[in-house]
Amino acid sequence: MLTIRNLADRWERCRSHPGAVRLLGDVREVGAALLDLFFPVRCAGCGDAGMRAGESRWCQACRESLAWVGSPLCPCCGTPFLDSPASPDHLCGDCLNGAFHFDSARSAVLYGGVVRERIHQLKFGGKLHWTPPLAELLERAWRSDATQQSVDMIVPIPLHIRRLRQRGFNQSALLARELGRRVELPVRLSVLDRTRWTDPQTRLKRNARLENVKGAFEALCPARLEGRSVLLVDDVFTTGTTISECARVLKKAGAAEVHALTAARVMADFHMRKGLEF
Ligand SMILES: [Zn+2]
Ligand SMILES: [Zn+2]
């Protein structure tokens, strides 16, 4: 008698037959080739269409031309020492003074050029398709740092509900979700909330920024944070005040460690000297 059960068994036997496996593989390959043909994946940097689905979203030339952040850097806040490339990693002045509440922070690339453009287009132009290439930068930085890999969950920097309504999405949450999917870590959107409206930080100096974000965040569900290690994710690290304030709140609620990861990092002096906007 033909039942759903033995139909499923027959399909399973049929599917696992070597010929069928080959055929399914061929069908998949043809499907991928058709997808490439009609919806070519373009390089997020130069727009080159010679990319294949499932591979890097940056062509090799663009990947190599990105200003990747690397040693020598401060092992705590991750600021690179661009003026002394031969020095070993060492704590920066801010970290010697205990300026930050996070345990470590890392960024993939320096803020500028095409990455700055893509972040702007994502954030202010609603070009959500730039999320995967930017998350790819996060993933590369995450994979190159053992401390970042020791976390239990990813938490995006939250937006105030008013800003969320204006923008329609939280770019940090989009990046966090995509990173979580890539590195197989849970993303918690409900453990941290931005309860107080703050003015945009962009034009504020460091101390004013500190005042501006104080008390802006609230930890929710402390039971989910107790003794856990958190990775805060954001698009840009500017002075680190927002990330540090989030880390303070999460730790107060019981988080054992808080690390941070951003796609890009503003180096104010460097950017000013080079005449780059930030
Ligand atoms: Zn390219
Ligand atoms: Zn530092």
* 232 within some domain: yes
80 CA to centre of ligand 2 in angstroms: 9
pLDDT at 138: 98
Q: Are residues 93 and 24 in the same domain?
A: no
The ligand whose atoms approach the alpha carbon of 94 most closely is 2
Q: Are residues 244 and 210 in the same domain?
A: yes
Euclidean distance between the first and final Cα of the chain, in Å?
71
258 CA to centre of ligand 2 in angstroms: 15
Give percent of the chain above pLDDT 70. 82
137 CA to centre of ligand 1 in angstroms: 14
Q: Are residues 69 and 12 in the same domain?
A: no
Residues whose CB is under 5 A from ligand 2 (ion)?
74, 76-77, 92, 95
Q: Are residues 21 and 155 in the same domain?
A: no
The H or E element that residue 28 is part of is helix 18-38
Q: Are residues 164 and 73 in the same domain?
A: yes
**Residue 230 β-bridge partners:** 153, 258
pTM of the predicted structure, to 2 decimals: 0.83
The ligand whose atoms approach the alpha carbon of 260 most closely is 2
**pLDDT, average across residues 25-39:** 64
Q: Are residues 257 and 167 in the same domain?
A: yes
* 47 within some domain: no
Query: How many domains is the chain built from?
Result: 2
Domain that holds residue 25: 4-38
The H or E element that residue 217 is part of is strand 217-219
The CA distances from residue 173 to 25, 60, 185, 192, in Å, are 35, 27, 14, 12
* 49 within some domain: no
pLDDT at 237: 97
Q: Residue 190: phi, psi to the nearest 5?
A: -115, 15
* 122 within some domain: yes
55 CA to centre of ligand 1 in angstroms: 13
Residue 122 has pLDDT above 60, yes or no: yes
* 51 within some domain: no
Q: What is the C-alpha separation between 275 and 13, in angstroms, rounded?
A: 65
Pair type for strands 192-194 and 217-219:
antiparallel
Task: Give the single-character DSSP code of 194.
Answer: E
Q: Are residues 207 and 134 in the same domain?
A: yes
